[in-house]
Amino acid sequence: MIKSLSAALLAAITLSACIPTANTRQSQQDAALGQALIQAKIQQMSLNTAAPVQHAPQAPAAPVLSETALAEEIAALPSLSQGVNFTDLQDGFAVDGQVYLDPEGQIVKFGKDYATGDVSYLVRLSNGNYRIKYTRVGTQTAPIILAEAQRQTNNWGVTTRTGKNLTGDRLTLTSQGFIVARNKSAFDYQPGKGIHTFAAVDGFHIANLQNGDTATTGYILLERDPKKESLVGGLKSLGNSFGIGKADSDYMLVNIKSGKSVPLAMTLESKKAGNYSGCSSRGLYNKCAHVEFRESLYEQNGLKNHGHYYWRARWFNTPDGPILVVKENGLKNLNAINLKTGKKVNLFTRALGINSFEITQDKSGVLSLVAQLGFSKKTIPDVAAAIASGAAI
């Protein structure tokens, strides 16, 4: 279009220059000036319709941190002269009785190691947005950011500061990083070391909840794949949950590096809590028209569902090696296993069932246990010593 307009304007100038006038010199000067103005206008129009100006490219984003550099940040943290005592809280945790909170948001998950004071924890920033941090409690140092995480529906997406991306439907925090799992696969990330992958054995998958530190013990909990069950099978499982007969091993601990497995006599049904409705009193019991079971850590009254696998199997890093304390064969047996030596002993047996147990780990790593047996409580001051001196089963 510009070329056509330019040609037309030049033709008009040429034609006007050929027409005789009274003052030829003035006409020629005017024509020359007009032609110059037209050429300037054409040049301006050409600039206005030219391709958009190409801006200088933006500087590329800063390169992601290397695993080596991140490991150096963590290595620079001061060491503790002794271990610490952790207590779980709804919003974070307490260290030696002092509450640890993060100003950016609620701490919803964490993994810990009593010996080093190392903690990795997950902070909820806003709806669906989280941040994973690493700290060494008791050193008065700022936490180190490990990764950013997003949760959408039932899926997690995690991006580490070192540029690694992990996705899955379960996120577990360890004392030295985190694990992202999906069905039969687990991806264990430790800053400075990268990702270690693990696949569950056939017929099992990674349990949704873990009540032990995989980073320091090396063990992760697996759960048997669900299957349809007949009425007879359901009655059998119900009996097993109350210690009638021998319970199936629907759970196992597996070492993610060596593959060593430890079957646990716990059934899938033990993780369910009943949601009862339409109930009426019948003196010593309630008769209910409807009952719905669901996986739950807590009963409707807010108390722990001690039959859930999360409360029934707990494993710890100790000076004597990783130790597991587990309630097996329904409610009947409370057993302890030194996962390093493989020795297993029975701590308590009660035909009517062991209600619950609580474990405390002190600064030196010693595990003490209190078990509720009906209306009485039994105490074991040192679980590792009880394993060493007890008869193997």
Collapsing DSSP to helix, strand or coil, 322 comes out as coil
For 56, 234, 303, 363, the CA distances from 296, given in Å and listed in that order, are 57, 19, 11, 31
Residue 252: both structure tokens together: 């196992």
Closest CA to 188 of 111, 107, 295, 292: 111
The Cβ of residue 184 has, within 10 Å, a number of other Cβ atoms equal to 16
How far, rounded to the nearest angstrom, does the alpha carbon of residue 326 sit from its chain's CA centroid? 24
Average pLDDT, the chain: 80
Spatial contact of 145 and 137, defined as CB atoms under 8 Å apart: no
Separation of alpha carbons 136 and 142, rounded Å: 9
Q: Is the pLDDT of residue 350 over 50?
A: yes
- Per-residue pLDDT tens for 22-62? 444 444 444 544 554 455 455 545 444 444 433 333 334 44
pLDDT digits (tens, 9 = 90+) for 328-337: 998 899 999 9
Q: pLDDT at position 312, please?
A: 95
297 band by pLDDT with thresholds 50, 70 and 90: confident
Task: Give the whole-number percent of the chain exceeding pLDDT 70.
Answer: 72
Query: Cα angle at 297 between 181 and 333, to 5 degrees?
Result: 100
For residue 241, give every residue at least 6 positions away whose Cβ sits within 8 Å of its Cβ, in sequence order, or none. 247, 267, 269, 270, 307, 330, 331
pTM reported for the whole predicted model: 0.73
Q: Between vectors from CA 276 to CA 272 and to CA 280, what angle results, nearest 5°?
A: 150
Task: Report how far residue 183's alpha carbon sits from residue 163's, in angstroms, rounded to the nearest whole number.
Answer: 24
pLDDT above 70 (res 177): yes
Per-residue pLDDT tens digits for 270-293: 666 555 555 666 554 455 554 444
Contacts of 7 (CB under 8 A, 6+ apart): none
